[in-house]
Amino acid sequence: MCSFALQKLEMKEVFITETNCITPLGFDVKSNTEAILRGDSGIQLHEDLSLMPMPFYASVINTEKLNRAFEKISTDKKYSRLEKMMILALEPIIKNSGIELNSKTAFILSTTKGNVTALKEDSEESFNNAHLDVLAKNVSDFFGFQTQPIVVSNACVSGILAVSVAKRLIQSELYDNAFVIAGDEVSEFVLSGFNAFQAMSDLPCKPYSKNRTGVSLGEATAAVLVSAAATNAKVKVIGDSSINDANHISGPSRTGEGLYRSIQNALKEAQIEVDKIDYISAHGTATPFNDEMEAIALNRLGLQNVPINSLKGFYGHTLGASGLLETVISIESANQNLLFESKGFDEIGVSETINVIDKNEERNIDYFLKTASGFGGCNTAVVFEKVKHELH
């Protein structure tokens, strides 16, 4: 339609210009991609009765290492473990960007459970810290953001939905820049819940594999700068959509309807055909139903031959952080023209064909798709275009 095209022309371009992440594999993007190329995984066997009555596999950040890194930027003792992880992820990119934290700079925080560990302590102060707006204020005040923090809490799509929210706010010219942080911790709360859901794997998770038995949980934070300015841009955010399945609150739609529509809408906005997509960074939690649902949705769209991975085999399922963390790694993948293996994958275990990446491989990546799905029937898809810089 003519009006659609016209409107498209007027839409402001939006870029991701800075990225960072704090994970068990490293405290910056470089160490993370190096670890991925070596095939390292953060998932280890843990025996910790304060977290679970039985041994479990999870990808957990070493607290002493975290504290040592944090001491280098602040001696303040008031921050929670998750707040330290968030501040550490944001600090270098705020500094590098040189962007003024004024009324046109948004701060978006995404998480599912935030400081839920604060509920273990029975005090008013501790309970107050379990509030997500308090978490956001603590992190925001560390840096001195002038705008009110925007918290996105939309289950396991939170991290990637936050990129979408940032893009929309910038396109509508409410802000010029948005610093986005996503994070979640491995806690007794989520471990027991996933276990009660019979959704925990008794081995490190194996997304899309025949013998997959569920998720391994993980913890991480990831941060990006979403900007209207193309300077130093790594990727352009060219289409996005978040459509609910309207089917079940804890299980994905058997037909992948919400994911199908999310991807379809995102591609339509990006104005590109499915054959342009070079790579898909999918959700791949390794539960039987999720992976199956994704395979069905991708086949319905004709995306079954596009190389795809789930990074959960490296990081576990980092909940609200996962969408953003996996975006940060995918951006590296695109910028290095390298497809990263989908760790834990062996024999295909979904009913419809998908092209799971079984080893690291060089490949030109211009356009890629990031997807996520979560409890409540939510799905998000975002299409990215690599920004090529002229060599001087």
Partner 1 sequence: MEALKLELKNKIITTLNLEDIAVEDIADTDALFGDGLGLDSIDALELIVILDKDYGIKLVDPKEGKTIFQSIESMAAYISANRTK
Partner 2 sequence: MTQKTNIQSYITIQNNEIVLNGTSVFKIEPTDFADFSKQAYRNFDVQYPKFFKMDALSKLAFLGAELLLSPITSGEQENNIALVLANKSSSLDTDVKYQESISDQENYFPSPAVFVYTLPNICLGEISIRHQLKSENSFFIFDAFNTEFMSNYSNILLNSNKADVVLCGWVEFFNDDYKAFLCTISKEESTKYTNETINTLYNQ
201-230 residues in contact with partner 1 (CB under 8 A) are none
Of 26 and 193, the one with the shorter C-beta distance to partner 2 is 193
Query: Which of 327, 303, 346 is CA-nearest to residue 205?
Result: 346
Cα separation of the two ends of the chain? 40
DSSP, res 366: S
Q: Is 130 in the site for partner 2 (CB under 8 A)?
A: yes
Structure-token pair, residue 320: 């609200």
Q: Is 377 in the site for partner 2 (CB under 8 A)?
A: yes
Q: Is 196 in the site for partner 1 (CB under 8 A)?
A: yes
Please identify which residue in 62, 123, 198, 351 interacts with partner 1, judged by CB under 8 A. Answer: 198
DSSP, res 48: -
Q: Rounded to an integer, what distance in angstroms lies between the CA atom of residue 364 and that of residue 383?
A: 16
Please identify which residue in 103, 250, 305, 353 interacts with partner 1, judged by CB under 8 A. Answer: 250
Considering Cα of 132, then 137, then 140, then 146, what sign does the dihedral take?
positive
Of 170 and 357, the one with the shorter C-beta distance to partner 2 is 170
Q: Is 189 in the site for partner 2 (CB under 8 A)?
A: yes
302-361 residues in contact with partner 2 (CB under 8 A) are none
The secondary structure of 337-362 as a DSSP string is: TEEPP-TT--SB-SSS--EE--S-EE
Q: Is 154 in the site for partner 2 (CB under 8 A)?
A: yes
Q: Rounded to an integer, what distance in angstroms lies between the CA atom of residue 216 and that of residue 44?
A: 9
Question: Minimum Å distance from CB 253 to partner 2?
Answer: 9
Contacts of 75 (CB under 8 A, 6+ apart): none
Structure-token pair, residue 259: 């994911």
Q: Is 251 in the site for partner 1 (CB under 8 A)?
A: yes
Of 69 and 155, the one with the shorter C-beta distance to partner 1 is 155
Of 29 and 381, the one with the shorter C-beta distance to partner 2 is 381
Pairing between β-strand 367-374 and β-strand 355-356 as defined by DSSP bridges: unpaired
Question: Minimum Å distance from CB 122 to partner 1?
Answer: 24
The residues of the shown chain that bind partner 2, judged by CB under 8 A, are: 4, 6-7, 10-11, 53, 112-114, 116, 119-120, 130-134, 136-137, 148, 150-155, 161, 165, 168-169, 171-172, 174, 188-189, 192-193, 195-197, 241-250, 257-258, 261, 265, 374-378
